[in-house]
Amino acid sequence: MRLDFPFMMAPMAEITTPALRCAVREYSPDVILHSEMLSAAAIVAGAQKNSSMAEKHPFDDPLAYQILGSDPSMMADAAAILCEKGCFAIDINMGCSAPDILKKGQGACLIRDPHRARAVVESCRKAVSANLSVKMRTGFRSYDDVDPVGFAKMLEDSGADYVTVHPRYAKLGFKRTADWEITARIKRALKIPVIGNGDITSPATALERMRSCGCDGIMIGREAVKSPWIFRLCSDMLGQKGRTLEVDIEKLFVGVLENTKKYLPAELHKSRGLRFGFYFSGNAVYGHSLFTMLRKHPDLDGMIGVVREYYRRNPAEKTITFINGIPSAGAAGSRQ
């Protein structure tokens, strides 16, 4: 396969909600979005709890659904159900290092069980007509307990259309910096596209990583929660389009909170609003106190009131202007 657009927003549990995906899409019509990770067992059981997470909205395309599990036939069934909704790709999670997931032998556990990993990919391949991808870590307890290049080649041989590499071993979580040299080695060994992921904080770093690692695309996670417009800046920089972009921070903040109400059930409003607010408050000069205030409110209407009040008191922070991907002088905060 060939990727028409080289940028992707990473799957992030409890964060890549429809509300945030809608905000990212407003700035970039082409970026490939991801759902939150979806338990294959829950999808197959038709669990009500998952339905809002698995729903696809008009703004979502192109969208990849990420599935989690370790049973090959269950994963294939879940992939087929999601594929019916129409999607760009089904992505298999081989990177999650949360203890409750590892206890079940899922996520990053699959990278130390190549036979099972192969069976999962092969059975999903048979079940889906959409692209099939795998998002992998590059080790489990250390960088030496898995051969990441051999593992990635096995994924390619088993039918994956592309592979996304987050080059930290699982037990590192987010500690230390991502080792992009491993991604470069994987890229050199594979024929299918390799997407690089890890620690991208600006459009300039995204392009530099793509160049130095030779990878075919870039996936951005945490920085895209703080800067949902980052993919637009990346594509402008890649196309050498010297465009100006003005972002209305208050409107975007309120819009995501409003859409959280619109697209998710009430029991998820507070947690999802806060998850987004934690990252997005980083745009404010007094982000820490803004987030502390958000936490005090039991519902999204209260949080929206806090945001409005913050920008009423700090009008200079309401908008940021980017010229050629760089914030213009006078922009507040530490944005790219």
Ligand X SMILES: Cc1cc2nc3c(=O)[nH]c(=O)nc-3n(C[C@H](O)[C@H](O)[C@H](O)COP(=O)(O)O)c2cc1C
Q: Any idea which residues carry the catalytic annotation?
A: 96
Q: CA 35 to CA 196: how far, in whole Å?
A: 18
In the range 275-304, which residues lie near ligand X by CB under 6 A?
none
Establish if 135 lies at the interface with ligand X (CB under 6 A).
Answer: yes
Choose between 51 and 177: whose C-beta lies nearer to ligand X: 177
In the list 17, 28, 39, 66, the residue contacting ligand X (rule: CB under 6 A) is 66
Query: Contact between 10 and ligand X (CB under 6 A)?
Result: yes
22 contacts ligand X (rule: CB under 6 A): no
CB-based contacts of 230, cutoff 8 Å, min separation 6: 202, 203, 206, 220, 223, 224, 336
SS3 at position 219: strand
244-248 β-sheet, strand order: 244-248, 319-323, 326-327
Decide if residue 233 touches ligand X (CB under 6 A): no
Instruction: Give the residue at shortest CB distance from ligand X.
Output: 221
Binding-site size for ligand X (CB under 6 A) equals: 21
What does the alpha-carbon distance between residue 218 and residue 177 come to, in Å, rounded to a whole number? 16
By C-alpha distance, which of 106, 67, 107 is closest to 85?
67
222 belongs to the binding site for ligand X (CB under 6 A): yes
Q: How far is the CB of 279 from ligand X (least distance, A)?
A: 9
The DSSP output letter for 193 is -
Residue 286 Cβ vs ligand X, minimum distance, rounded to whole Å: 23
Distance in Å, CB of 242 to ligand X, minimum: 26
Side-chain half-sphere CA neighbours of 314 within 13 A: 21
Nearest to 311 by CA among 332, 276, 273, 284: 284
Q: Is 118 in the site for ligand X (CB under 6 A)?
A: no
149 forms part of the interface with ligand X (CB under 6 A): no
The site for ligand X (CB under 6 A) is made up of 10-13, 15, 36-37, 66, 93, 95-96, 135, 166, 197-200, 220-223
